Structure formats: structure tokens, C-alpha cells
Amino acid sequence: MDNLNLNSRRTLNNGIKIPVIGIGTYRVEDGEPVINEIKCALEAGYRLIDTAAAYKNEEGVGRAIVESGIPREKLFITTKLEDIDEGYESTLRAIDVSLAKLGLSYVDLYLIHWPTASANHKISINKREETWKAMEEICKSGKAKAIGVANYAIAHLKEMKEYAHILPVMDQVEFHPFLYQKDLLEYCKENGIVLQAHSPLASGNVSRSELITDIAKKYHKNNAQVLIRWSLQHGAFPIPKSIHKERIEENIHVFDFGLSEEDMKKLDGLNANLHFRSNPENLE
Ligand SMILES: NC(=O)c1ccc[n+]([C@@H]2O[C@H](COP(=O)([O-])OP(=O)(O)OC[C@H]3O[C@@H](n4cnc5c(N)ncnc54)[C@H](OP(=O)(O)O)[C@@H]3O)[C@@H](O)[C@H]2O)c1
């Protein structure tokens, strides 16, 4: 991950380029809160925005994009299919609803939010194959430049090989030192899938370990910056969320230092298979 900077992009397996860092919008209210967050992030230099139908803030994200005055083609916008909309026809309808709310004619990336069509993540309803078929049509229609998945475990990705004609460009999963998903990361790398790190700040638990604080002091950085840098150096692209200007700005000041191999290993050692979000591994 040498020579990375704020403007660095990586090429997805379909040729589309994606920024290596982005801003998350989970649990940010629609209207002023999300508009302020996104405008602040765009001013700071973020170009990737991660939203979802389930976050109920796509309209505000769309307004912030317009108000920013930044040309559409300079931005990378991701939204996600809500669990309850999984299924062939409903997926085709859902993208149109999201695009209308965002006020866009296309998104750069459309993700299946969760491997089960149940809103209860402990109950598995498998509509993955028919949903993916609709996702492929959405991609071919140009309504999404790229398609992918979120919260897919290795088993779900392997299963896709049996039915997918277009392979997912991305798996967006929970990824931070307390949940260092090494096998999944390796699987994604071997199969040309980008792993994007959601909850890269361990959902705000940046001070859960003294080790992170000690390493941060050593590099004259803060704990959040260490966690974000750890993701980047693993080739897992982080999308930290903050509604505070200062944090939004500091969370992308991560390109002027590098964690040593030794410190990376120490942070890897924090892994406790700790999910702050639901664990998708046991879903059939
Ligand atoms: N695909 C999925 O199922 C899925 C699941 C979860 C998340 N995501 C995406 O990933 C994004 C990030 O995940 P997340 O929002 O769950 O968690 P996160 O980014 O790991 O952590 C966000 C929390 O950290 C705090 N924070 C931000 N910057 C900080 C800093 N510099 N120092 C200390 N605390 C800081 C934020 O508080 P303030 O806002 O008050 O600053 C917020 O409470 C989401 O917003 C969403 O876009 C996707």
C-alpha cells in the first residue's frame, strides 16, 4: 500500500476506479444532519459516499451532492438494496426508488446489503440467486456502474460462482483489528474482489485497547487514524463515519505515515472475532 494518498483509486474487476477511502452515513439522520456531514466530507476531500436504502438518508445525500457543486463524475456513490427488497422484481424496483431519492441517473456501486432477505439477521431467507440476477440487469442497464455484495461470508461468495454471470466487484464487511477477517480478505484478494471495511473504527470503540493508544502516541496520530491506516495497509478500503467536522477531517489525514510491519502484527493480534454488527457467517 505504498504511495497511497487521498486521491488514490483502485481499479475494480470491471475496470471502474474506486477511491481508497470514503465517508459512511449509517445512523445519520436524513435532512440537515446528513447534508452537513456529506458537504463537510466533500469539502475535506472525500469523494466516495456510502449510503443505503435502509439508512433512510438517500434524499439528503442527493441534496448534499447537488449543493456541493462537485461534478457528478468526480464522485463515487454507493447505495445498497435493503433486505426486505431482495427478490428479482423487487430489486429492479428498489434501484429506481433509490435513484429517485438520490436524484441521480446512476450509482457507481450497488450492493446487496445482507445475504439474507430477512430483516432479522438471525433468520435466513435465501433469495441470493434471483436477487443477483436482477443486480446483473441493473448493471447492464447502466443504473449501476458496478455491483457487489455486503456482509457475505466466504461460503456465500463461493456459492455465487455457481450462479453469477457477473462477479461482484466488492464485499463490504465489518473489518477492524478486533475482527481481523484474514481468511475472507485473502479469499477476496485471490478472487479479484475488493474488501471494503465497514465499521473500520470498531463502531467508535477506538480506545478499547491500550495498544492502539500506545501505537497512536508513537506516530503522533490518534487512535482512529491508526485503525484507518491499519485497514488501508491490509488493502481493505475503509469508510469511517463521523458527523463532526474535526473528526471527518482527521479521519482522512492518514496518508502521511505508515505503520511498521511489527505494529501491524501487534494490531492483528487484537483479533477476537468480535462483531459490533451482526455476524453473517452462520446464515445459510
Ligand atoms: N454494509 C453494512 O452492513 C454496514 C454496516 C455498518 C456500517 N456500514 C457502513 O460503514 C460506515 C462506517 O461504519 P459505522 O458508522 O458503523 O462505524 P465506524 O465508522 O467504525 O464508527 C463510527 C463511530 O465512530 C465515531 N468516530 C468517528 N470518527 C472518530 C474519531 N476520529 N475518533 C473517535 N470516534 C470517532 C463516530 O462518532 P461521531 O459521528 O459522533 O463522530 C461514530 O460513533 C457506516 O456509516 C456505513 O456507511 C455498512
pLDDT tens by residue, 45-73: 999 999 999 999 999 999 999 999 999 99
Sign of the torsion angle spanned by Cα atoms 170, 249, 82, 126: positive
Averaged pLDDT score across all residues of the chain: 97
Q: From CA 170, how far away is CA 193, in angstroms rounded?
A: 5
Q: How far, in Å, from the CA of 201 to the mean position of ligand 1? A: 6
Q: How far, in Å, from the CA of 26 to the mean position of ligand 1? A: 7
What integer is the mean pLDDT of 96-110?
98
pLDDT over 70, % of the chain = 99
CB 179 within 8 A of CB 271: yes
Tell whether ligand 1 has an atom less than 6 A from the beta carbon of residue 205.
no
Confidence of residue 109 (pLDDT cuts 50, 70, 90): very high
Tell whether ligand 1 has an atom less than 6 A from the beta carbon of residue 191.
no
- Which has more confidence, 3 or 127? 127
pLDDT of residue 212: 98
What integer is the mean pLDDT of 181-185?
98
**Which residue owns the Cα nearest ligand 1 atom 37?**
242
Tell whether ligand 1 has an atom less than 6 A from the beta carbon of residue 13.
no
Cα→Cα distances 239→84, 86, 260, Å: 24, 24, 22
Rounded to 5, what percent of the chain is helix, strand, coil?
45, 15, 40
pLDDT of residue 281: 87
Tell whether ligand 1 has an atom less than 6 A from the beta carbon of residue 78.
no
> Taking 80 as the threshold, does the pLDDT of residue 124 lie above it?
yes
CB 59 within 8 A of CB 85: no
Q: How far, in Å, from the CA of 141 to the mean position of ligand 1? A: 32
Q: From CA 218, how far away is CA 213, in angstroms rounded?
A: 9
Tell whether ligand 1 has an atom less than 6 A from the beta carbon of residue 206.
yes
**Which residue owns the Cα nearest ligand 1 atom 4?**
198
Confidence of residue 158 (pLDDT cuts 50, 70, 90): very high
Q: Which residues are catalytic?
A: 55
What DSSP designation does 107 have? E
Q: Reduce the DSSP state of residue 25 to 3 states and report it.
A: coil
Q: How far, in Å, from the CA of 198 to the mean position of ligand 1? A: 8
> Taking 90 as the threshold, does the pLDDT of residue 209 lie above it?
yes
224-270 confidence digits (pLDDT tens): 999 999 999 999 999 999 999 999 999 999 999 999 999 999 999 99
Tell whether ligand 1 has an atom less than 6 A from the beta carbon of residue 253.
no
pLDDT of residue 2: 64
5's grid cell: 494518498
Mind listing the domains of the chain with CATH numbers?
Answer: 9-272 (3.20.20.100)
Ligand 1: residue of 241, 254, 281 to mutate (most ligand atoms within 8 A of CB) is 241
What DSSP designation does 77 have? E
- pTM reported for the whole predicted model: 0.98
pLDDT of residue 284: 85
Q: How far, in Å, from the CA of 133 to the mean position of ligand 1? A: 31
pLDDT over 90, % of the chain = 95
- Count Cα neighbours of 51 within 13 Å in the Cβ-side half-sphere: 29
